[in-house]
Chains A and B, each alone.
Chain A
Amino acid sequence: MAELTSFSFHPGSSLLHKLDVRFKIFFLILISLISLGCGFTGLCILTGLLTALIMHSHLPLKSGFKEFRFFIILLLLILVARMLATPGTALFETKSIAITRPGLMSGIRICWRLVVIALLGFLFVFTTRSSEIKAAVEWFLKPFKFIPAKHIATMMGLIVRFIPVILNQAKETAEAQRARCLENRKNPFYRLIRLGVPLIRRTFEQADRLIVAMEARCYSENRTDAILSATRIDWIALLIIFIICGGIVSI
């Protein structure tokens, strides 16, 4: 596991690293919701904000791009489906296929929104420890007595902890199979099965080893959690985000 996935927490001293995780979760939800309803101007503003944050946090976009390559394929599929399925003035037409202008615009808008949300998630995971996420989830669920907050928070913390492990397993398994010329087999289902089965088995084995190691170090739900404390920076960030979101909604 020498080469680590970029889709995991990286220590740093950026503004996002310093923000209280509860504020970050709130911003993540708020901006995601706003991006779902806004047009191109709003998306431009959000992209500008994201670009500034990405540069400030030193998010490794190049390696992140590699890990998001399947997501990019999904975006392309959405774009093509939109272009072909939305009625309107045709930009390009053959006998049976017509690419429409409204379809193209709608496809670009949807893909852009999804990219904004994915990048927000990437920034969040990149700058937040899983122990902080666990503590914040527990804090958010505390008022709802009927919800087992500790259980859910523990599960979420472990899921976040496990994402890079699974991605690493997938990378290692794929490399081992490429070394044995799997790429010569053109059938995608065959390749998927060949990758999926050992990957699932290895992930479970790894999970089992991790559980044993955690148990050996007295893991339980009742442990000293990360300290959550809101500072002046958090409230200023909240104000700025409210102004930006308010501006986008009013456009």
Chain B
Amino acid sequence: MDIIEIENLKHRFSDGTLGLDYINLKIKAGAFVVVAGPNGSGKTTLIRHLNGLLRPTVGSVKVAGVSVQQDLLRARRLVGMMFQDADSQIVGETVYADVAFGPENLRFDHDQIRERVALALEVVGLKDFSDQRPHLLSGGEKRRLAIAGILAMEPKVIVFDEPFASLDYPGVKQVLKQILTLHQAGDTILVITHDLEKVLAHADRLIIMHKGKIVRDGVPAEIIGDIETFGVRAPCASQLGMEVLSWLN
């Protein structure tokens, strides 16, 4: 079953710049997809259509069979989004309050909110940080907090926008491990990045974007050969003709 269906999606910004140029894309439930491309290729613009943060100029976006435009709240509940800058995503004064933000917006009662927050914090391993101030967490912990905030809303698709940006090696491993746990639990994962090295070993599909278009789409090993033409650096291992290994090994 396709959980995301994008048809003829075109987006033009108010200043006239073309963000997306007639994109057609279907993503199966439970897939692990990496979307790569240079800066300004339209990656972030594309994912912001998945939960209605941006509206299409032309075309349609459906999540689990229903148009995003038709039911915005449903789309935002089903598609959780982790942004590049984890600091700007933090809205609560404590770790607990931040994770509770989403369920509070969905108007759950206090008992349900407590349950969801406890579960989400348990999954990301931040249970003991409940009363901690979020801004004092490390980079990796902040990303995990952002993931917990999304998990508390019980989404089906989780989108990570540059999840490894400005993280140290232990931070990258923490976040990557978390992404894989979510994928194993059945969530559909979309990772937006221009740095394939850290995540490609786990992806079952690679999409390359360039100037608002999808220029390559397929199994990573099959399409990785010429991706540098589009301004995306291929992982070192693949350049040497070897298999790309996981950062967790």
Chain A contact residues, CB within 8 Å of chain B? 1-2, 4, 8-11, 129-131, 161, 206, 209-210, 212-220, 222-225, 227
Known A11-B133, A217-B102, A218-B102; judge A209-B107 contact (CB<8 A): no
* CB atoms of A216 and B81 under 8 A apart: yes
**Measured between alpha carbons, how far is A210 from B97 in the docked complex, in Å?**
16
**Measured between alpha carbons, how far is A218 from B109 in the docked complex, in Å?**
16
Within 8 A of A (CB), among B47-88: 48, 51, 53, 73, 76-77, 80-81, 83, 85, 87-88
User: Is B106's CB within 8 Å of the partner chain A?
Assistant: yes
Known A209-B83, A216-B76; judge A223-B133 contact (CB<8 A): no
Interface centre among B80, B103, B105 (most CB of A within 10 A): B105
State which of A131, A217, A224 has its C-beta within 8 Å of the C-beta of B107: A224
User: Is B42's CB within 8 Å of the partner chain A?
Assistant: no
Chain B 99-114 interface mask (CB, 8 Å, partner A; 1/0): 0011111111110010
State which of A1, A131, A161, A217 has its C-beta within 8 Å of the C-beta of B87: A1
* CB atoms of A11 and B131 under 8 A apart: yes
Write out the residue numbers on chain B whose beta carbons fall within 8 Å of the beta carbon of A213.
83, 88-89, 91
Write out the residue numbers on chain A whose beta carbons fall within 8 Å of the beta carbon of B53.
212, 215-216
Write out the residue numbers on chain A whose beta carbons fall within 8 Å of the beta carbon of B104.
131, 223-225
User: Is B242's CB within 8 Å of the partner chain A?
Assistant: no
Known A209-B85, A217-B76, A218-B73; judge A10-B133 contact (CB<8 A): yes
* CB atoms of A4 and B153 under 8 A apart: no
Interface centre among A130, A210, A214, A224 (most CB of B within 10 A): A224
State which of B91, B133, B136 has its C-beta within 8 Å of the C-beta of A210: B91
Write out the residue numbers on chain A whose beta carbons fall within 8 Å of the beta carbon of B48.
212
* CB atoms of A224 and B108 under 8 A apart: yes
* CB atoms of B88 and A206 under 8 A apart: yes
Known: A220-B105, A224-B103. 4 other contacts (CB 8 A): A11-B94, A216-B83, A217-B150, A224-B113
Write out the residue numbers on chain B whose beta carbons fall within 8 Å of the beta carbon of A10.
133
**Measured between alpha carbons, how far is A77 from B87 in the docked complex, in Å?**
38
A207, closest chain B residue (CB)? B88
Q: How far is the CB of A46 from chain B (nearest CB, A)?
A: 28
Write out the residue numbers on chain A whose beta carbons fall within 8 Å of the beta carbon of B102.
217-218
* CB atoms of A11 and B93 under 8 A apart: yes
**Measured between alpha carbons, how far is A222 from B106 in the docked complex, in Å?**
9
Query: Interface residues of A: mostly helix, strand, loop or mixed?
Result: loop
B76, closest chain A residue (CB)? A218
A210, closest chain B residue (CB)? B88
User: Is B171's CB within 8 Å of the partner chain A?
Assistant: no
Q: How far is the CB of A212 from chain B (nearest CB, A)?
A: 6
Q: How far is the CB of B72 from chain A (nearest CB, A)?
A: 9
* CB atoms of B101 and A217 under 8 A apart: yes
* CB atoms of B110 and A217 under 8 A apart: no
Within 8 A of A (CB), among B119-147: 131-133, 135-136
User: Is B212's CB within 8 Å of the partner chain A?
Assistant: no
Interface centre among B73, B85, B89, B149 (most CB of A within 10 A): B89
State which of A9, A223, A227 has its C-beta within 8 Å of the C-beta of B110: A227
Write out the residue numbers on chain A whose beta carbons fall within 8 Å of the beta carbon of B94.
9, 11, 129
**Measured between alpha carbons, how far is A216 from B101 in the docked complex, in Å?**
11
Known A209-B83, A217-B101, A217-B153; judge A161-B135 contact (CB<8 A): no
Write out the residue numbers on chain B whose beta carbons fall within 8 Å of the beta carbon of A218.
73, 76-77, 102, 105-106, 153
Write out the residue numbers on chain B whose beta carbons fall within 8 Å of the beta carbon of A220.
105
**Measured between alpha carbons, how far is A213 from B133 in the docked complex, in Å?**
18
* CB atoms of B93 and A9 under 8 A apart: yes
**Measured between alpha carbons, how far is A4 from B136 in the docked complex, in Å?**
8
**Measured between alpha carbons, how far is A1 from B150 in the docked complex, in Å?**
22
**Measured between alpha carbons, how far is A210 from B91 in the docked complex, in Å?**
8
**Measured between alpha carbons, how far is A8 from B93 in the docked complex, in Å?**
8
* CB atoms of B97 and A129 under 8 A apart: yes
**Measured between alpha carbons, how far is A197 from B28 in the docked complex, in Å?**
47
In the complex, 22 of the A-B residue pairs with CB atoms within 8 angstroms, ordered by the A residue number, are A2-B135, A4-B133, A9-B93, A10-B133, A11-B93, A11-B94, A11-B133, A130-B93, A131-B97, A161-B91, A213-B83, A213-B91, A216-B80, A217-B91, A217-B101, A217-B149, A217-B150, A218-B73, A223-B105, A223-B107, A224-B108, A225-B104
